[in-house]
Structure formats: C-alpha cells, structure tokens
Amino acid sequence: MSETQRRMYLFLLVTTIASQVGMQGWVTLINNFAVETAGFSAFDMGLAQSIREVPGFLSLLVIYLLLIMTEHRAAALAILVLGLGISITGFLPSFWGIVFTTLIMSTGFHYFEPLNQSLSLQYFSLDMAPVVLGRLRAASAIANIAVGGAIFLLASRLEYSTLFMLIGGAVILMGLWAIFQDPSDKSMPPQHKKMILRKRYWLYYALTFLSGARRQIFMVFAAYLLVKKFEFSLTTMSALFVVNNVVAWAANPIIGRMVNRFGERALMSLEYVVVILVFVTYAFTDSPILAGAVFIIDQLAFNFVVCIRTFLQKIADKPDIAPSSAVGFTINHIAAVFIPVMGGLLWTIDYRIPFLAGAVLGAISLALAQLVRTERA
C-alpha cells in the first residue's frame, strides 16, 4: 500500500468498526428490549423496522451532502449521528420512542455505508479491493465479538438504558477521532455529485435490490423468530451473535481472496443456494438448535455481499462509483421500506410466509447471478 492508501485504510478501519459495533449492539439489544420493555407485537416490530429503513431509502441524498463537504468528513459525521441515536434508545421504551431513536441511528448508519463503500472502491485496485473489504469485515467481526461478549456478561447486571449508552458512547468516541482525520488524496478523480442511473448497471441494481430484501427478512424476522417462538433470552442472543462474528472473522479474509480466485458469479451462486436452504429451514423447523445453527449459516452467507460491491467496481466508470454506490444503497432499501411491515402482517396469518418468500427471492437472485460477467466471473 502507498502512504495515502494506508491512511485511508486506517480511517476506514476505525469508522467501519464504529459502524458495525453500533449496529451489532443495537441489533443484539433491540429485539429483547422491544418485546420485554415496550411490549412489541410482530406487527409493531415490522412497522418499526420499516420506518428504520426510510433513511436507507433516502441515502442517495448523500450525493448532495458532498456538495458542501468531503466524503471522509461526511462519513465521520454519519458515525457521530449513529452513536447519538444508539445512546438515547434505552431512555425511550415505547413504540414512538423506539421509532424516534431508530430514525436517528438509522440515518447515521445508512449515510455512512455508501460513503464507506465508495471510498473503499476508489482508493484500492481491482485486485486489492476484495482483500481490503474482507479485512475490514473481519476486523468488524472482532469488534462485534467484543460487543457481544460485553452484552453477554453485563446483560444481567445493567439496565437496557446503560447498555445502549455504553455502545453509543463508544461509537461517538470513534466518530470524534474520525472528524479530525484527513486521509484523502487530492489527485483522485473527482466524483460526480449528482444522481446517476445507467442502463448498463441494471444487473448491479437488481442484485442489490434482492440482497436488501433478503437482508430484511434476516434482520427482522429471523431474530424475532428465535426470541418469540423459541424464547431465546438476551444472553442467548448475544452469545449467538458472538458466534456469528467469530465465523465472520475467520471467513471474510478467505472470501476476499476467493473473489479474486473464483470470481463473483461462482460465489454469488453459492451464497444464493445456501440462502434458499436457510429460509426453508426457518419456515419448517421446530428445533431451537437447528434454528440457531441456520441463523449462523445465514449470517455467514451474507458476508458474500462483497461480491456485489466488487462487481460494481469492475463494471463502473471511476467517477460513477460514489453516486452509483449511493443509488445502489437506496435501491437496496426500497424493499426494506415495505418488507418488514408486510412481513409483519403476513406473520399474523402464518409465520412461515415471510421465510418462504425469502426462499423465492433467493431463487431469483440465483438466476440473475448467472448473468454476471467480469474478468474472473
């Protein structure tokens, strides 16, 4: 790596860890907090999660934020907003309180992610980017293990408000560090600061949309299934997330190298076959052990999402990366706005329906993945 790349890597490392620590802590706590403290039903959870995705749907507006500040400065500001939203979550244990704090948290997270993706793809070469993305996800997993371990140890000793405050405070500290950094390279090609939709990127858009839909079913209903049907406690859920992150820590660097060796199409195909099997298992298993096992496999499969990002890097013009990342992130969240609330309604008819729908989405993704063409696809 050059000196500029090392500076950017350190910046991305710290901010990515901050983002994932915040989201992991929030995800680990929110289901139990909402059910035990705020009395959420499946419909309440679906509605709140749909509202959570509104900032993701509007994340293309980050393009216009870049008219007044640099990408790295906007990324650092987003981390601060994320930390603030998490910090105050535990103090508002009601439906509208959770919606309010979730919107703040979600705005920070969803504005950071396209900036993070854009900077990663701009500053690192086609061969280096998958490896760097894999390392960043592995480092995030280590941090998430620490978060899960801390929640596991402290869950019986501290109130939810204190747990949310500790996690949010850690994110804010990392965001403050990032605000005072300047890892940018002034010689980099300037990014277009307008929304860009190109017909030749249609497959990237389609795969991104389906990935977002599948992710929502996992985020909202897989965890809710474990808490509601199988009565997993907060301690059990935190332990499960720790296992998820141990697996991710070991797997992500390998996935990055596999992208270079086998290409995006092969790894996407593997991911979507696994996704289909996982969702069918969620729908029909009555075993808490099997449900917990496929929860881990589901999370492992999602780490292959790096393939969609490197696919964009290989087909996009350099100045299109930032706006295309933002547009892609918005497309990713179109489904996220309506799937949680729709899934919540379908759950009231039969809890299996959202998971069977996820299997169908996996099958469509598998078919589209066969159209992926890159140098090593």
Residues 237-263: tens digit of each pLDDT: 878 877 887 888 888 788 878 888 888
DSSP for residue 69: S
Which pair of structure tokens corresponds to residue 146? 């620490």
Q: Which residues contact 292 (CB under 8 A, 6 or more apart)?
A: 226, 230, 232, 240
Which pair of structure tokens corresponds to residue 27? 């995800």
Whether 185 is in a domain gets the answer no
Percentage, residues of the chain above pLDDT 90: 29
Whether 375 is in a domain gets the answer no
**For 58-80, what is the mean pLDDT?**
82
**Burial zone of 200 (CB within 10 Å; 0-12 exposed, 13-18 middle, 19+ buried):** exposed
Whether 265 is in a domain gets the answer yes
Reduced to 3 states (helix: H, G, I; strand: E, B; else coil), residue 155 is coil
Which pair of structure tokens corresponds to residue 51? 């509202």
Helix 288-302 to helix 264-284 angle (10° resolution) is 160
Q: What is the CATH number of the domain that holds 112?
A: 1.20.1250.20
Whether 187 is in a domain gets the answer no
Decide: pTM greater than 0.75: no
Range of the domain at 305: 3-180+192-369
Q: How far is CA 306 from CA 2, 255, 300, 310, 355, in A?
A: 23, 8, 12, 6, 23
- Given this model, what pLDDT does residue 361 score? 92
Question: What is the tally of structural domains in the chain?
Answer: 1
**For 286-299, what is the mean pLDDT?**
91
Whether 374 is in a domain gets the answer no
For residues 119 and 19, is the Cβ–Cβ distance under 8 A? no
- Given this model, what pLDDT does residue 377 score? 46
Whether 186 is in a domain gets the answer no
